[in-house]
Every structure is written in structure tokens, then in C-alpha cells.
Amino acid sequence: MTAIRRLRHLQRYREIALAFARNGFGYFVRELGLTRLIPHWRSVESQHHQPTRTTGERLRSFLQELGPTFVKMGQIASTRHDMFPPDIIEELQRLQDKVPPFPFEEVRRVVEEELGSPLESVYRSFEPEPVAAASIGQVHRARLRSGEEVAVKVQRPGILKTVETDLDILRHLARMAEHRLQWARQYGASELVEELAASLGAELDYTHEGRSSERIAAHFEGRKDIRIPRIWWDLSSRRVLTMEFIPGIQLHDAAALEQAGFDRTEIAEAVCRVILEQVFLSGHFHADPHPGNVLILPAAEGKRTGPRSASAAEGGADDSDPRPRPVIGLLDFGMTGRLTPGMKEHFASLIIALRRQSTDGVIQAIEAMGLIPESADWQELRRDVDRLREKYYLISFADISLGEAVTDLFQVSYRHRIRMPADFMLLGKTLLTLEGVISSLDPDFSVVTVAEPFGKKLLLDRLKPARLAEAAAGYAAEYVDLLGELPSRLRSLGRFVARGKLPLELSVKDVDRMMKKLDRISGRLSFSIVLLSFSIIMAGLVVGSSIGRQPGLLSRFPVLEIGFTIAAVMFLYMLVSIFRSGRK
């Protein structure tokens, strides 16, 4: 590390320590041994003792004070309901990513450095005033030499170095915290920082945003009810993104929507379907559908070709409705999520288990999606899931609040330290945001009613012969690999046994279950020995009768027939007991 970089790091450490102190987290500075960085530490700490503000409020103030990296990481952390309590999440969601725009001279310099040409040779016109500005970058309207109107996203100068410095410091602080603080080890502070750093790194690379945009657009190819900006890759890089400019009405502009004649219920249904189709069908979804990222445009054809909505179709609406059909425009793909086929199936299983009021089904789905720690109290977990199940008992499916159900599930996962995949937590955030947007358009609209057909389709797809055959082939391959490894594993086990070093670890809660298993195994072993002895005796009788010359007393009775019958019954009983134990 160069002297200049060490000095920059030292100065930033001091800023972070002071921000901790100013927001009532002085104890954290003491625990990490950072007090030496601040002269007259005791007086600084006493000046900023603030017992009146909540922990969440102080944390939000701390992050905002330290700038773009910490604000962005706080916004990303606001999706981790499985790791932070609800009051902290609520404050993190209030973090504002609005900063003053940087000068047009800096915009010009970044664009010309990235594209390797003067600004005027690339764009016919380029508006100096940005249409939007944030901590990572800002957006300008421009027109290409060929005439197309575009939006140009330009990254803030120096932001990459700032973020890299902050991430280096955060990694170091996380390691120190894990070494000194038990709660930091429990939460996996270093792992959390790396997860947040990966998300932030993706936002700093505009090519990642462009690829995500095209991936989602490919799913809607040929559709006229959705618009996603086209990307000009020859005019884009990691720090500059040139994309189609889409004019439209922002979703939160209720007055403009009404003036344009749009049906708010129809818009609610259209937005809901677009997002849920991404989640359930393509698996790659826009994870930040807040009103500023959703535009409403009139259909290009200007007249209807069908009923205005599903509800209108049921009511027999005709094609003469004069109101414009809405087209949904999606912007800003800096935050997207991806669900693997397995995660989609687990999510569908969770929904079905909740509908069937199955506690075991809910726990199995949670266990399949997340990582339940060894220290989890399974009895308490079952009680919490039972309470969750009873809360939605006898409630009409259309009356369930999807956002509230997801929040309840996240609270259970937080209470039991169940770590969920980051993309699943993004899905939760997306559904919460979606329900908030929909309720602002039409408070009586049910997101769950629109989601149900997608979930049913997903479950039906699991039962298709091709999917079943594919799953069976996968299991078969796993079993073949397992059988191939079996001899070497048995040899290793034999060496441990021969040395008297067979490791055995039992927890107290497993003892009763293990003893019952051992009882069944010993009983079955004894039964097998009796069956073997009986079989040997019968074999002796068969041999004796075949070589004996004089009839004996036993020859007067059907001993062989009776013996074989008894042996067959014993054998069948043993098979049935084995199959039954396999299901327990």
C-alpha cells in the first residue's frame, strides 16, 4: 500500500470513527480499538451522547453522513429482513440517494475518456442539465448523429476509488469485529460485507445493467404491452450507458394519468402481471419497481383490440372503450434478481404449504430455501410457523396481503437466524414494493389473485413427464457418483474403526430419537438371527430327509411345508418393517 493510499485510509478511518461517535455508537469504536485515531476521545464521545433517537434513526444518520458507499450499502442491507430487525429495516428503507449533480465539464470528460471521441462527434446534441442525479451517477438526454433520442447515464467521477477505499476499510472492520465481538461472528459480518460489496460492484458496472436489461427484454420480445430501453453498446462502457429515451408518465403522477384518460385499475393489473411474469416464468426480474422506475405509455395502435382488463372481460366489456390501453415502460435495471428453477419451485411449495395449512410443509420449504443453523430451536420454530399458519387460516386467498405475508415470513427467519439466499430476499423486497405501488393505484386490487395462476402453472410444470425424467436422471447421476465413492469411504471408515477413533457426535435433543433407532435396529438384527437359525434348521431337515433311509417321527407331519410357510411369513414381516422404518 502506497504512502498516499495509507494516508487516505487513515483519514477515512478517522471520519468513520467520528461518525460512529456523533451518532451514539461510541461503544463500537471502543470495542474495535479505534479510539487512538481520535484525539480527546472522551470529550468527543460525551458531546454526542444521544439517548433520545432510536437505534435505527442513528444508524440511518450514520450512513448518510458517510456518503455514497454507505448509503448504497444501507439500501442493499434494507432487503435483508432475515438479518436485521423490522425497526432497523424500516429506517434503512428511508435512506435517500439524492445528491447535487456534478458539473457538465466532468460529464464531458468521463464520456470522452470512455468512448474515445469528442462529445460532439458522438451526439448531435447533449443537454447539460441532468434529468436525474444520484450518488453513483446521473442521466442526461441527448440525440445521436443518426437522430434517435437517447438517455445517457454517466458515472460520478472518482466514485470507484471512493467505494474501493470504503470497502477495504469495511472488510477490515468486519474482521476485527468478528475477532472481538460474539454477535459479529454470529451474524457473519465479513460474509455480509462481501455480499453487499458484490451487489454494489454490479451497480458500478453499467455493462452489467445493460445486460440485465437485455435479458429481461428478451423474455418480452414481440410484446406490445411493455417497453424496455434499447442499449447502444458501441456508445456504452463500464462508466457510460447509452440507451433509448422512453417518454411516458411516471407511475406516481396520478394527475397526469387521469388527464391522459388511463384506467388506474387496468394499470395496476398490467404492472402486476409484468413483474410477476418475470418472477415466476423467466426467473430474472426487475428488483426495484418503485414508481420512478415505471412509466405508462399509450398503446402505439391508439385503439383497443380487446377488453380493458381481466375484470372488464368478465363483465363483458367490448372493444369500444375510448380509454387508451396502457403500455408499461421499465427503467433502471441496476438492481435485478435471479431465481433458479429450484428456488422458484421452493417458493411455489411455500405458497402451497401456507394454503394447505401445513406446518411441516412450510418448514421443509424454508429449510430448502435457507440455511437453518444447528443451534435453531426446532420446537420454537414449529410454534412460530403454527402461529403464522393460524393467522391466515380461513382467510380468503384474495384478501391476503402479499407484503404482510412476506414480512411475517421474514420475521420468522430473523428470529431463528435462518439465512436466506440474497436473490430470495430481493424477491421479497420486490413483492413488497409492488404491493405498495399497486395499492396506491387501486387499494382494492389483490396482487395474490394475479399471482395464483402463475404459481399453479409453475407447480403443473413440475409434473410434466419431461421435467420428471430430467429430475430422475439427475438423481440417478448423483446415486451413481455416490456408489462410486462408497468403497473408498468404507475403507476410510474401516481404518478409523481399526484405530479405535470412530468420531461420534450426538446432541441432547437427538438422544431419544437415536435410542429408538438403535432399539429398532437391534430388534431387527435379533429377528434376522432367529430367521437365519430357523432357516439353517429347515435346511438340515431337508438334507436329512433326502439322505435318510428310514422314515422318522417327523415324516408323519408336513414339517417342511409348515417350516417354509413360517420362514416366508417371517421374511415378509421383516421386509414390511424395513419399508416402514424408511418412511419415518
Percent of the chain past pLDDT 90, that is, above it, reads 22
User: pLDDT category, 296, cuts 50, 70, 90?
Assistant: very high
Catalytic residue among 82, 166, 263, 288: 288
- How high is the pLDDT of residue 67? 86
**Residue 61, CB-side half-sphere exposure with 13 Å CA sphere:** 16
| 450 shares its domain with 546 | no
Q: Is pLDDT of 466 > 80?
A: no
| 379 shares its domain with 395 | yes
Q: How far apart are CA 211 and CA 313, in angstroms?
A: 37
Q: Is pLDDT of 86 > 80?
A: yes
| 85 shares its domain with 144 | no
User: pLDDT category, 80, cuts 50, 70, 90?
Assistant: confident
Q: Is residue 77 part of a domain?
A: yes
| 28 shares its domain with 132 | no
- How high is the pLDDT of residue 52? 74
Which of 135-144, 163-172, 425-434 is the least confident region?
425-434
Give the pLDDT mean for 150-179: 91
Q: How many domains does the chain have?
A: 4
Mean pLDDT of the chain: 78
- Residue 562 or 173, more confident: 173
- How high is the pLDDT of residue 568? 64
77: containing domain = 3-97+163-202
Cα Rg, the chain, nearest whole Å: 33
| 112 shares its domain with 222 | yes
Q: Is residue 80 part of a domain?
A: yes
| 345 shares its domain with 238 | no
Q: Is residue 219 part of a domain?
A: yes
- How high is the pLDDT of residue 542? 58
| 188 shares its domain with 220 | no
| 229 shares its domain with 143 | yes
Q: Is pLDDT of 562 > 80?
A: no
Q: How far apart are CA 59 and CA 88, in angstroms?
A: 8
User: pLDDT category, 55, cuts 50, 70, 90?
Assistant: confident
- How high is the pLDDT of residue 440? 85
Q: Is residue 313 part of a domain?
A: no
- How high is the pLDDT of residue 309? 45
User: pLDDT category, 214, cuts 50, 70, 90?
Assistant: very high
Q: How far apart are CA 244 and CA 151, in angstroms?
A: 6
Q: Is pLDDT of 245 > 80?
A: yes
Q: Is residue 493 part of a domain?
A: no
79, 426 in Cβ contact below 8 A?
yes
Give the pLDDT mean for 289-310: 66
Tell me which residue of 268, 279, 275, 277 sits closest to 289, measured CA to CA. Answer: 275
Active-site residue flag, 288? yes
Q: Is residue 475 part of a domain?
A: no
User: pLDDT category, 243, cuts 50, 70, 90?
Assistant: very high
454, 277 in Cβ contact below 8 A?
yes
| 529 shares its domain with 567 | yes
- Residue-wise pLDDT for 248-270, tens only, equals 998 888 889 888 899 999 999 99
Which residue's entry shows cell 446415486? 479
Give the pLDDT mean for 473-479: 53
- Residue 487 or 65, more confident: 65
Q: Is residue 477 part of a domain?
A: no
89, 82 in Cβ contact below 8 A?
no
- Residue-wise pLDDT for 529-551, tens only, equals 655 555 666 566 555 555 554 55
User: pLDDT category, 306, cuts 50, 70, 90?
Assistant: very low
- How high is the pLDDT of residue 573? 65
- How high is the pLDDT of residue 310? 45
Grid coordinates given for 413: 427467519
- How high is the pLDDT of residue 237? 96
- Residue 375 or 294, more confident: 294
Alpha carbon distances (Å) from 118 to 109, 220, 327:
9, 36, 36
Which of 260-274, 362-376, 394-408 is the least confident region?
394-408
| 350 shares its domain with 365 | yes
| 146 shares its domain with 38 | no
| 529 shares its domain with 408 | no
User: Amino acid identity of 111?
Assistant: V
Q: Tell me which H or E stretch contains 149.
A: strand 149-155
Percent of the chain past pLDDT 70, that is, above it, reads 68
- How high is the pLDDT of residue 398? 62
Q: What is the DSSP string of 30-62?
A: HHTT-GGGSTTHHHHHHHT--TTS-HHHHHHHH
Q: In CATH, what number is assigned to the domain containing residue 137?
A: 3.30.200.20
Q: Is residue 506 part of a domain?
A: no
- How high is the pLDDT of residue 449? 78
- Residue-wise pLDDT for 92-135, tens only, equals 888 876 778 999 999 999 999 999 999 999 999 999 999 988 88
| Domain-ending residue, one of 412, 443, 468 | 468
Q: How far apart are CA 226 and CA 299, in angstroms?
A: 9
